[in-house]
A = this chain, B = another copy of it.
Amino acid sequence: MPYQDLEVHGAVAMHIPDLNIPRIVIIGGGFAGINLAQHLLNKGLQIVMLDRYNYHTFQPLLYQVATSGLEPDSIAGPLRKLFKDEENFFFRLALVQKINPTEKIIETSIGNLSYDYLVIANGAKTNYFGNNNIAKLVFPMKQLPQALDLRSHILQNFEKATLVKDYDEKQSLMDFVIVGGGPTGVELAGALGELKLHVLPTDYPELDFRQMDIHLVEGSGRLLNGMSEIAGKKAFDYLQRFSVNIWLDTRVNDYDGREITLSNGKKLTSRTVIWAAGVTGNLIDGLPTEAITRGNRIITNEYSQVIGFENIFAIGDIAFMKTEQYPNGHPQVAQVAIQQGKTLAKNLLGMIKKKNNPKPFKYKDLGSMATIGRNKAVVDLPSWKFQGLFAWFVWLFIHLIAIAGFRNKVVILLNWLWNYFTYDRATRLIIRPFFREKMDNMSDSYFK
């Protein structure tokens, strides 16, 4: 509760100076927020960015942190560092609690702040579809502390498995159930398959790894639903070679922390259920219900303006922009967030300078990809779909290019080379004498 003690001295406040230039408040330092901010710098505007973490997370590689492949520090960029030496840029570590559009004020854990333009870019969190039972017992993987926690949990379970004789008990500690056959689920299943093949057996010679099962449960009839059919099929093939058990057309009915009941009646036992089955917007109070739609997304027009407001915008995973091509909104992926951030930056500048007409957002699908363990990936480019070794190189290359910061690139490349040639995963530390906490449901108290 870092800020609570400050209140004793009555001192909590934002302390953002009033510069008499338009103030743009950006909620969230994800792909959408940082791309927006980067294109608004040095344009005579005051930019205030708020985030609950002091770093930007490169979410596509979270699964490698969870499976001991990368240090958390290599896939994160401290936000103050990303914008260091930038004039009129202000970062504050804060949780936004309420938007007050009438007074153009937001209420946060560290005080109120007025805005001229507000951009909601605080993304999405894990969706448990209202099942509180499940929410308490499964592992989400949307944030860095969650991935770190999962890493510790996995390793702790193998330590525990060395202590039990009972076959079923041992099995429940060594087995994994991943719910959701999208990129996160598929990549995680592949990474666990690698751990099973190359890393864990030498670490735990006392365990029999034929006993370790990896299950992947997907509600629809195929994997990688957002990608091409061939990508889904190939991913299925690759995962089967890792002996991952794939359950299509299957949902999770219940979980008690040990036994998981599937919709087809099958029961699996596992202490580790990883939930990658869907997301829901990080909604903030204060917007009218008409502005909210399915999945807690905020409805915007093609200029990312929240319907009903002139000066409130939403971009990235939390935004729902209906277009002819995307009648159900855009996919909730990094590329949409990045492009919406850039487009909105241009439109905002035009709007503030009362110059040109705003440009409606047009998503340019650059393609998507997923990797499945060593040497294998599936890549969908708009005009070319390919899979296998070359796809894997493309995956590596694109991710290395995309991650922010030269140092991170070098450290990640080094780790990947190391992991590749030694069949090792170096970062196998259990660093959680701290309990398991649900970051998704993290209360405000942390910020007070």
Contacts and interface: CB of A to CB of B under 8 A. Distances in A.
A389 interface: no
Interface stretch (A344-352, A395-403, A429-437): A429-437
Q: Copies of this chain, how many?
A: 2
Given A14-B163, A407-B418, A414-B410, A54 B84 contact: no
A98 interface: no
A163 B442 contact: no
Interface stretch (A69-77, A115-123, A224-232, A364-372): A69-77
Contacts of A206: 15, 90
A310 interface: no
A110 interface: yes
A363 interface: no
Nearest to A202: B84
B145 A433 contact: yes
Nearest to A153: B2
Nearest to A405: B426
Contact of A163 (B11, B415, B426): B11
A165 B431 contact: no
A374 interface: no
A53 B429 CA distance: 8
Contacts of A11: 163-166, 169
A129 B68 CA distance: 39
B411 A73 contact: no
Nearest to A434: B434
Interface string A56-74: 0000000000000001111
Contacts of A162: 15, 92
A156 interface: yes
Given A11-B163, A162-B15, A204 B80 contact: yes
B156 A428 contact: no
Contacts of A203: 78, 80-81, 84
Nearest to A74: B71
A160 interface: yes
Contacts of A155: 54
B427 A73 contact: yes
A6 B80 CA distance: 44
24 contacts: A11-B163, A11-B169, A12-B163, A53-B429, A55-B428, A55-B429, A55-B430, A71-B71, A71-B72, A72-B429, A73-B426, A73-B427, A80-B203, A81-B428, A144-B429, A145-B431, A145-B434, A148-B431, A405-B426, A407-B424, A408-B426, A411-B414, A432-B434, A433-B446
Given A54-B155, A92-B162, A407-B418, 18 more contacts: A6-B160, A9-B169, A12-B163, A13-B165, A54-B159, A54-B429, A71-B74, A76-B429, A80-B204, A80-B428, A81-B203, A81-B424, A84-B202, A85-B202, A92-B163, A145-B431, A433-B437, A433-B442
